[in-house]
Amino acid sequence: MYHIIFGQLINSVCAKKGRVLVSNQIKKYLSLDRPNYSQKLVKHLFLPQSADIQKKCYNYAKKLLSTNRLNHQREGKSSKVHGGDAPGRHQFPKEVEDACNGQAMDEFSAAFTYLSMSCYFGRSHVALPGCQGYFMDMFEEELKHAVIFTNYILLRGGQVKLCCVQVSEEHDWMSVKNAFNAALDLEKSVKEKLMVVYQKAEKHHDLQLVDMISTQFMEEQVQFSWFLKLFNESIKQLARLVTKAQMTDTKVGEHLFDQMMHSTFVKKSNMMYKKSIEGDPEAKDINKRQ
């Protein structure tokens, strides 16, 4: 930041504009950073603006600029070293940390896409509560996956870096068939990204992450062990639902499909039924009456 401001100030000086104002700005922004250089520059600003003085000003500016860049590089390196020396961090490569952060954001993105689908089927003119509840469950599941990755990063002494969640621009999912096809593609995409994280964990011999992915995620999506198992189960389930959804070309077909979804997948504990904050005494009374 300093070297950008300083460059602008020097340009103003060489253009013979506002010498006093510029000198005060140099004092303000740079005196604490490099007092010797800034004092000499300020001194020269009040002398007649000869070519030699301008050249000397330029040389000082160049010297200060390179010094600032060197300092910024050193600060960057020291911050990296500080992150690497965090008390709880041990053999946790940055490439693995970045991959885990990326996967967490992908899981958040998938979660909000499923929430969008759930909200679509919950509209009064769509009114398919079975599909609404199914995608609400998917939303919750993906949120849990994201939190598992953020917790793992913290466990290993890393830094969780959250950014803007990329949400699908699609809000009108048109039909059951369209939504379930999109969900199947999304699940496959998340699984493929998860496999990249797995490969990076293997590359850096992060055995705990390898075990977590293979035993917690993958079964949900090819029999590989929990994450991978979950993804494999989810893909298999969605593929079968897509096949059934192909039969819903009529409103009656959609209604029958939704009844099957509701009886098979939607429980009373589903978040689609949540109308109050837990712990509210009045909310408990209302729930008892229901």
- CA–CA gap between residue 2 and residue 37 (Å, rounded): 13
Cα separations in angstroms, 191 against 4, 141, 143, 149, 270: 44, 14, 15, 14, 25
Q: Which residues contact 231 (CB under 8 A, 6 or more apart)?
A: 187, 190, 191, 194, 217, 218, 219, 220, 221
Residue 219, strand partner residues? 229
- CA–CA gap between residue 71 and residue 37 (Å, rounded): 15
Closest of 248, 209, 189, 5 to residue 91, by C-alpha: 209
> CA dihedral defined by 149, 152, 157, 162, rounded to 10 degrees?
20
Q: Which residues are annotated as a binding site for Fe cation?
A: 107, 142, 145, 187, 221
Asked whether the beta carbons of 220 and 208 are under 8 A apart, the reply is no
Backbone angles phi, psi at 93, to 5 degrees: -60, 150
Closest of 236, 202, 241, 13 to residue 99, by C-alpha: 202
Token digits of residue 165: 């969640």
- CA–CA gap between residue 222 and residue 239 (Å, rounded): 13
Q: Which residues are annotated as a binding site?
A: 107, 142, 145, 187, 221
- Sign of the Cα pseudo-torsion (244, 249, 253, 258, in order): positive
Backbone angles phi, psi at 219, to 5 degrees: -65, -30
